[in-house]
């Protein structure tokens, strides 16, 4: 058996496999091919591992081995197995064979993978080129994934999260490379960890992300529970990203997940009868200031999500916030949302909605984050925390914008930065130049403007200026300058040059 392998080796090998498509396709297009092939390779390797283990246990009794395999978390049909496809890498219809293999794996695991591969076509001429070019690329791709480093059997790689981490590593890289065009607005792992710790999900909780993207934020919050006793729900508008989310859940072993495809603001799918389904924890990193989100239908919303007011049609931030607050259970439901700073101070309809949320004692905290944390945008963001049935009316303001690791492409929250924010929120006390516990009267006096500098004074006090000393220094410098001018003029005359 090969030696254990590090996460970094797996990540590096996967990233090199991207060279098959670089220059041919946009990362937004080729990421799906890479991620689906990673998925297929992993489930094939797990299946092989399990087969070998069962054959040893049942001493080669085929009937008992097949029966035991049928009870596994998932099934890999023979024609879906990576080795079957790799052995046929020179076939003239290799793209079609991969498509058939994906179709069969979907049929065999309908409850978990139904429709997941409907948006990917390994036989696509527009994306992968004419037959000869397409076959060459697919052969290269199969060879990349047959690299011994990518032997992903659990007996070799250990924990399941190694593959989940690799998956998120690729999604993160694609989001970074392609910015917003990368399909989904990816939430960096450190920000997801911060939200998970702030929201404190507990055993038995229902956890929902109504703009779940590739699912990494939802998974991070769910794993914070510390046991498999939780229920996960999500909705995603982009079909390709929805499929990534389903695969991501599958790879992380989150089998109790209901992930719906559709537009949360105009067509929420997580409903019970004629009401929104309610959750203990609602978390999201929705697209910032989404334009044309459907404001014209908001007044007639059957779920009355916008009863505090209709957000402007060019900015959906408070549409998502309104949905999330309405989707939280009345008895202590927690909401955590990442939003641009504009939601803290913009007036008009947004100002009225913000005022009502504060008057209803729903807002718990406002946390300012560093700039350049997110892929595809350098603008600073804030976390808003809401809680139903609060026992205090105070609001915590935390300015965490100056605490981060400054890395080449992206800033990043460090473990100590996350810990400081969480401890400050729990402590609920003022911290000089960092946090302020505000009474609701103070917010009212500020006309419900939540801009953090109004509450947290971060400017360093300037030292007293000694005007007499400065005047003396200016006089001295002027005398020096005059002397230098005379010297230059003297040298120019000697050289016969008139200044």
Q: Is 49 exposed, middle or buried (0-12, 13-18, 19+ CB in 10 A)?
A: middle
Local structure of residue 209 (DSSP, 8 states): E
- Reported as type and span, the H/E element at residue 411 is strand 411-412
Question: What pLDDT is attached to residue 54?
Answer: 83
- Which residue in this structure is represented by tokens 């300058």? 481
Question: What pLDDT is attached to residue 312?
Answer: 96
Question: What pLDDT is attached to residue 25?
Answer: 74
What is the b/e burial string over 86-120, where b = at least 16 CB atoms within 10 angstroms of the residue's CB?
bebbeeeebbebbbbbbebbbeebeeebeebbeeb
- What residues have CB less than 8 Å from 172, skipping those under 6 apart? 186, 188, 189, 375
Question: What pLDDT is attached to residue 333?
Answer: 97
Question: What pLDDT is attached to residue 180?
Answer: 46
Q: E strands of 194-256, at which residues?
A: 206-209, 231-236
Predicted confidence pLDDT, tens digits, the chain (499 residues) = 456 778 888 888 888 888 888 777 777 677 788 889 989 998 999 899 888 888 888 777 788 878 877 788 889 999 999 999 999 999 999 999 999 999 999 999 988 898 999 889 999 998 888 999 999 999 999 999 999 888 888 888 765 566 667 777 777 777 666 544 433 457 888 999 999 999 999 999 999 999 998 898 999 999 999 999 999 999 999 888 899 889 889 888 888 899 999 999 999 999 999 999 999 999 999 999 899 999 999 999 999 999 999 999 999 999 999 999 999 999 999 999 999 999 999 999 999 999 999 999 999 999 999 998 876 677 889 999 999 999 999 999 999 999 999 877 778 899 999 999 999 999 999 999 999 999 999 999 999 999 999 999 876 555 566 787 788 778 878 878 888 888 788 777 777 776 5
CA atoms within 13 A of residue 436's CA, in its CB half-sphere? 17
In the beta sheet, which residues pair with residue 431? 435
Q: E strands of 256-394, at which residues?
A: 257-261, 271-272, 275-276, 281-284, 334-340, 363-368, 381-387
Report the C-alpha gap between 13 and 135 in whole angstroms. 21
CA nearest to 431, candidates 392, 395, 458, 460:
458
């Amino acid at each position: 058996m090969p030696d254990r392998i590090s996460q970094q080796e797996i990540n590096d090998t996967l990233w090199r496999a991207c060279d098959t498509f670089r220059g041919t396709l946009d990362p937004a297009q080729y990421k799906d091919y890479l991620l689906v092939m990673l998925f297929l390779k992993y489930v094939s390797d797990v299946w092989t591992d399990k087969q070998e283990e069962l054959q040893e246990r049942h001493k080669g009794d085929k009937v008992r081995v097949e029966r035991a395999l049928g009870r596994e978390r998932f099934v890999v049909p023979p024609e879906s197995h990576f080795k079957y496809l790799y052995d046929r890498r020179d076939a003239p219809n290799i793209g079609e064979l991969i498509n058939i293999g994906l179709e069969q794996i979907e049929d065999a695991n309908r409850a978990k993978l139904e429709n997941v591969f409907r948006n990917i076509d390994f036989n696509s001429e527009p994306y992968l080129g004419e037959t000869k070019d397409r076959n060459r690329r697919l052969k290269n791709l199969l060879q990349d994934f047959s690299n011994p480093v990518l032997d992903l059997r659990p007996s070799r790689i250990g924990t399941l999260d190694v593959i989940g981490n690799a998956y998120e590593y690729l999604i993160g890289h694609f989001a970074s490379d392609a910015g917003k065009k990368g399909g989904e607005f990816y939430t960096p792992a450190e920000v997801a960890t911060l939200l998970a710790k702030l929201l404190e999900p507990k055993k038995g909780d229902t956890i929902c992300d109504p703009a779940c993207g590739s699912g990494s934020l939802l998974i991070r919050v769910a794993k914070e529970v510390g046991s498999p006793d939780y229920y996960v729900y999500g909705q995603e508008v982009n079909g390709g990203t929805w499929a990534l989310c389903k695969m991501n859940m599958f790879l992380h072993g989150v089998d109790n997940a209901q992930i719906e495809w559709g537009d949360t603001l105009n067509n929420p799918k997580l409903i019970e009868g004629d009401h929104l389904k309610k959750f203990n924890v609602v978390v999201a990193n929705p697209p910032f200031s989404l334009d044309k989100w459907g404001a014209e239908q908001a007044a007639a919303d059957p779920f009355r999500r916008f009863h505090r007011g209709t957000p402007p049609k060019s900015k959906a931030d408070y549409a998502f916030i309104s949905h999330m607050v309405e989707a939280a259970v009345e008895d202590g439901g927690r909401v955590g949302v990442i939003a641009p700073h504009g939601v803290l101070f913009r007036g008009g309809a947004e100002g009225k909605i913000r005022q009502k949320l504060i008057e209803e004692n729903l807002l718990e905290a406002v946390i300012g984050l560093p700039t350049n944390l997110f892929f595809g945008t350098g603008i600073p963001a804030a976390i808003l925390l809401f809680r139903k049935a609060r026992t205090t009316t105070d609001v915590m303001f935390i300015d965490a914008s100056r605490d981060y690791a400054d890395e080449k492409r992206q800033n990043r929250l460090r473990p100590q930065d996350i810990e400081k924010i969480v401890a400050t929120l729990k402590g609920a006390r003022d911290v000089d130049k960092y946090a302020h516990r505000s009474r609701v009267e103070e917010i009212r006096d500020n006309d419900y403007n939540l801009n953090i500098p109004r509450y947290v004074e971060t400017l360093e006090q300037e030292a007293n200026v000694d005007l007499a000393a400065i005047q003396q220094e200016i006089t001295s410098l002027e005398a020096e300058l005059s002397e230098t001018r005379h010297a230059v003029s003297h040298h120019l005359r000697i050289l016969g040059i008139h200044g």
